[in-house]
Chain A
Amino acid sequence: MPLSPDEAGRFADLLSGHAEPMVARWTELVAANLRGRLSSAELGRQTADLQRAFQQAFAAGATDLGDEAAAELRAQLTELSNHRARQGFTATETAVSVYALKDAALEALGDAANLKDYVAFSGFVDRAALFTFDSYVRVRESLIADQAEQLLELSTPVVKLWEGVVAVPLVGTLDSARAQVVMERLLQTLVDTGSPYAIIDITGVPAVDTQVAQHILKTVVAARLMGADCIISGIRPQIAQTIVALGIEFGDIATKASLADALRHVLHKTGQRSPGAKRTER
């Protein structure tokens, strides 16, 4: 239920008239709730900013939180939830930072408060708190998604194994999302290092089904289009037998039992000395 323009005007006056005690009380209430996890100076700044944003929204004639006049207030609330979410505060702690304004206002106004006005004001603050809660949840969700993505990237390193040879050791389940990341990173590393050879090591993949095989085949084809040759290594006996029974064919793609075999194969092809062989010349 939106406020009347009259009410908005009265609230603007009330908030500016009682600014200091209201901010002080509001800060105190929030501080008690957050139990010292934010410095009182920082909290004081935040509540003062918020109080001013509420006051300016009302002064500009905002009767609903969605109004153009409340745009700055919404931005402040979003900023607050952003902060709280990133600093690890709970959704309740974040919402209370806004709700506390109601108590602070009631105390600061004392007997001067008229019930009808207070209920209207309280409704507006409730909507602001809900808005904060929603944007808090959105920030948390995106934080979690970011972390999942980072984990994904962490678990798919592409390493330069030797001059002209990069390797991706695949570990665990190769679902479509990860397969995509692996492919992109491998291709990017091929570009960055100008390597003509890539080794895809599947020692850490527990089962190679048609989906995994198809992802690997696509990666090999893409690497070839970029002028690089792929070798698949780490094919353990049980995986080899399963691949054969499934009917998957790796065609003319070189496959090796171990990463070391694969590297030796590449070095042999390029006429370089294999790692571990004695160097007799520069």
Chain B
Amino acid sequence: MNEESQRLPVVTDQDVVRVRQLVRTVAVAVKLSLVDQTKLVTAASELARNTLVYGGGGEVEVTRVHNERRGGIRIVFADQGPGIVDLQLALTDGYTTGGGLGLGLSGARRLVDEFEIDTEVGKGTTITVVKWCR
């Protein structure tokens, strides 16, 4: 069951800041703990920046979700970029093609409760993450 999806474009650095702010606001609204808020905001920052830098820009959708037991947040990062050729490699700590630390993707996975990548070479990448309230 979903409610109130909010979408933001990710085309500039400033958009990444906006994504962070939106995720923070929703995280506070669903009453994530301070640690979980920070983890989710940080994961969102990583994935949104990848969408911008490697995906050539895209869109982020933030949705409050709940199952029978608890509430949470789902965030979808979508781009129509080149896709990820070797997913396992991309998810390896320290692997980077852009001179980064190579920790964004793998680290983001550790910062959330659910993490799913749908990527196709030449078509784009969609990453869905969920963080549940404890």
Which residues on A are within 8 Å of B, measured CB to CB?
Answer: 173, 175-176, 206-211, 213-214, 237-239, 241-242, 245-248
Binds A, one of B42-50, B59-67, B71-79, B123-131: B42-50
Is A246 a contact partner of B20 (Cβ separation < 8 A)?
Answer: no
Would you call the interface of chain B mostly helix, strand, loop, or mixed? Answer: helix
Contacts of A211 on B, CB cut-off 8 Å? 45, 49, 100
**Contact present for A210 and B38 (CB under 8 Å):** no
Contact A247 B17 (CB under 8 A): no
- Which of B2-10, B81-89, B101-109, B114-122 forms contacts with chain A? B101-109
List B residues at the A interface (Cβ < 8 Å). Answer: 13, 17, 20, 24, 34-35, 37-39, 41-42, 45-46, 49, 93, 100-101, 103-104, 106-108, 110-111
Are A242 and B38 interface neighbours, CB within 8 A?
yes
Say whether A176 contacts B45, CB under 8 Å. no
CB-based contact A238/B107 at 8 Å: no
What chain A residues lie within 8 Å of B17 (beta carbons)?
A: 173, 175
A247 touches B107 (CB 8 A): yes
Question: What's the Cα separation between A213 and B101 when bound, in Å?
Answer: 9
Contacts of A238 in B (CB 8 A): 34-35, 37-39
Enumerate chain A residues within 8 angstroms of B41, measured Cβ to Cβ.
206-207
Partner pick for B103 among A175, A176, A210, CB 8 A cutoff: A210
Cα A175 to Cα B12 in complex, Å, equals 12
Residues from chain A with a CB closer than 8 A to the CB of B45 are: 207, 209, 211
Question: Is the CB–CB distance between B103 and A247 below 8 Å?
Answer: yes
Interface contact A210-B46, CB-CB below 8 Å: yes
Residues of B within 8 A of A206 (CB): 20, 24, 38, 41
